[in-house]
Structure 1
Amino acid sequence: MKRDRIVILPVEERQGSMATDPIVKELNAIITRRWDVAPGLAIFRVETDDDLFEFTAGQFCVLGLPPSAPRVPNAEPETPKEDDRMRRMIRRAYSIASSSRAREYLEFYVTLVASGEFTPRLFALREGDRIWVGPKATGLFTLEGVPREKAVYLLSTGTGLAPYMSMLRAEFAHQGSKRGVVIANGARYSWDLGYRAELEAIARVNPLFTYIPSITRPQGDTTWAGVLGYIQDQIVDGRLERASGVPLVPAQAHVFLCGNPAMIETVTTLLKERGFAEWSKRTPEGQIHTEKYW
């Protein structure tokens, strides 16, 4: 069953409540493109007023909107906030999906959280509307430190795919990388598989790249003929390795995990049973890299 359609107010109604808000003056970027992947799931392309900061593929930055920004009307009701909080910019961190080589814009892959503060406002925006972008990107969820000869498994659920799109576009698509790259992205339904057409196109022309999309609710998506089940199940029964042809062993691969914390915890346990270790600045010899989305 598909999610309810997201209702977008006309521009006059969306922007009217912001007219007298002083925080609006801080908005420093514009939404130039918006793609609605599915109800409650969208890709936003943003251009900053000033020169774009440099970043490494896999990093994140902060987006912001004023509390006075309109919300999609079918979001859950907000609890009234104290006056001092209402004067502050609402800020949230998002992984960058665009290539670090793209100097004109940033791209973000976002899920609407109906009970949230930020995304109901973000999803009310259309092309041409303004937003705030923080001054820098940060994060250690990158390919820096991964030996060039090692294959990489980039495993994700939902919008956890975003940093991998940046990596793929920057590190692999433009550099002719010789290592094996596996992107496995799980979603509830096939229409929730963002960037699917782009990834399938890359897989057709690059024999070193494998794209494995999967869904977990086939009873509501009867036309899907692809992989079923959770990513952790695909590891246990060997489907992931068979589909990619890349041995899932620490001597040959690094594994990146992004998205649902339950998936990350389960897969991390499975990988440790195979001899993998978690990567950190203190343990750079590790092969498991994680980024939890909530």
Structure 2
Amino acid sequence: MDHAYQGELCMSTANDYNATVVERLDITPNLMIIRVKPDVTPFPFLAGQFAILGLQRNAPRIPEADPEEVPEDKALRLVRRAYSISSGSHETHLEFYISLVQSGELTPRLFALAVGERLFLGKSASGHFTLDRVPPGHNILMVSTGTGLAPYISMVRTMALGIGCPITPMAVVHGASYSWDLGYRTELEGLNRQCDHFRYVPVVSRPQDDKDWSGRTGRLNVWVENKKALEEACGFPVDPAHTHIFLCGNPGMIEFTEKYFVEQCGYDAGSKKEPGNLHAEKYW
């Protein structure tokens, strides 16, 4: 997920690049999973946090990107953005789930990267959208759209240690326009089959253009309002006494669902200093 962080270094050189692309998986022409190896390891982080990626303005861009003119005096400036980490905290690489913004400053450059190429990685991870705010014994419901799924992949992998099933009951509800936009679908479907305490709930909003999809349909923020269907899909009660909720993705979805869970279900959004039982990542 691309956070709202924006920033540039005054000037940079190739020596500022401190990480290497070690793997790349293209989900669609507009969605990719990229794995990055930091020069300095370990790179500690908590599941749900984000890291800064960057490239120089003179770095190559994909041909499909919107036209851009880069003034000569800014060609060496480093464009930086924050992205949620999707790898588990025990993994040796950093993984990111990124959506192409054709008019963006950084993603057209990231999508031009090949395995073995270099880029900038911030010195440390940041963010409070983490599982340490969930008391033991509570269920975890994770609702997302698009690349807002990324921090949940990190959470699931971390809690399963990459080799098993999460002990805590967890459900991932992921909304996308089409089934081919459901990144990590194979991995999550596998966990859904193998793990008694894990549920994967994909929802497609444009089934009329996706004839092969036979699963759940509708706009995610409307779909979650059906509390009975939501609880049946998750396999546990969706109430403040038993379940913590995480929201990540499209700002409209977050605003709508947060209001619903607070006003209709009695959830508390809390604050950074005093977290409640509903946690929203409001950066996009």
The TM-score, its normalising length taken from structure 2, stands at 0.91
Aligned to 2:80, the other structure's residue is in SS state strand
1:138 aligns with 2:99: no
Deviation at 1:48, TM superposition (A): 1.2
Equivalent residue, structure 2, for 1:251: 241
Pick from 187, 192, 197: which aligns with 1:208? 197
3-state secondary structure, aligned to 2:186:
helix
How high is the sequence identity, in percent, across the aligned residues? 47
Query: Which residue in the other structure is 1:276 paired with?
Result: 267
> What displacement does 1:86 show?
3.6
Q: Secondary structure at the match of 1:98?
A: coil
In the TM superposition, 1:12-31 aligns within 5 A as 23-31=13-21
What secondary structure sits across from 1:135 in the alignment? coil
> 1:168 aligns to what?
156
Displacement of 1:234 after TM fit?
A: 2.0
Aligned equivalent of 1:52: 42
Q: Which one of the candidate residues 95, 105, 109 is aligned to 1:117?
A: 105
Deviation at 1:137, TM superposition (A): 0.2
| Conserved 8 A contact 1:260-1:293 | no
Tell me the alpha carbon deviations over residues 100-145 of structure 1, each in whole angstroms, 9 at most, x when there is no partner.
011x210000000000000000000111111111110010000012
User: 130, 135, 139: which is aligned to 1:151?
Assistant: 139
Aligned-partner Cα distance in 1 for 2:143–2:105: 28
C-alpha distance in structure 2 between counterparts of 1:176 and 1:87, whole Å? 46
Partner of 2:95: 107
SS of the residue aligned with 2:241? Answer: coil
Letter in 1 for 2:100: L
Amino acid of the structure 2 residue aligned with 1:34: R
CA-CA distance at 1:282 after TM superposition: 2.8
How far apart, in 2, do the equivalents of 1:217 and 1:145 lie? 35
CA spacing shift, 1:176–1:227, aligned 2, 3 Å? closer
Bigger mean CA deviation after superposition, 22-31 or 131-140: 22-31
Give 2:80's match in structure 1, choosing from 72, 85, 91: 91
Structure 2, unmatched stretches of 5+, are 1-10
| Structure 2 Cα separation of the partners of residues 77 and 200 of structure 1 | 39
How far did 1:281 drift?
A: 2.8
Q: CA deviation at 1:214?
A: 1.1
Matched, 1:69 2:59: yes
Q: Which runs of 5+ in 1 are unaligned?
A: 1-20
- In the alignment, the residues of structure 1 paired with residue 278 and residue 69 of structure 2 have an alpha-carbon distance, to the nearest angstrom, of 39
Q: Secondary structure of 1:136's partner?
A: coil
- What SS does structure 1 have at the residue aligned with 2:192? helix
Q: Which whole-Å CA distance do the structure 2 matches of 1:146 and 1:237 have between them?
A: 24
User: In the aligned structure 2, how far is the partner of 1:282 from the partner of 1:293?
Assistant: 18
C-alpha RMSD of matched pairs (Å): 1.6
SS of the residue corresponding to residue 243 of structure 1 reads helix
Mapped to 2, the partners of 1:159 and 1:65 lie a distance apart of 20
Deviation at 1:173, TM superposition (A): 4.5
Partners in 1 of 2:72 and 2:277 — Cα distance? 45
CA change 1:281–1:204 in 2 (3 A) is same
Q: Hey, what's the Cα distance between the residues in 1 that align with 2:180 and 2:170?
A: 24
- Kindly tell me the number of residue pairs found equivalent between the two proteins: 271
Residue deviations 1:4-58 (CA, integer Å, cap 9, x gap): xxxxxxxxxxxxxxxxx96222111111100000111000001111213211000
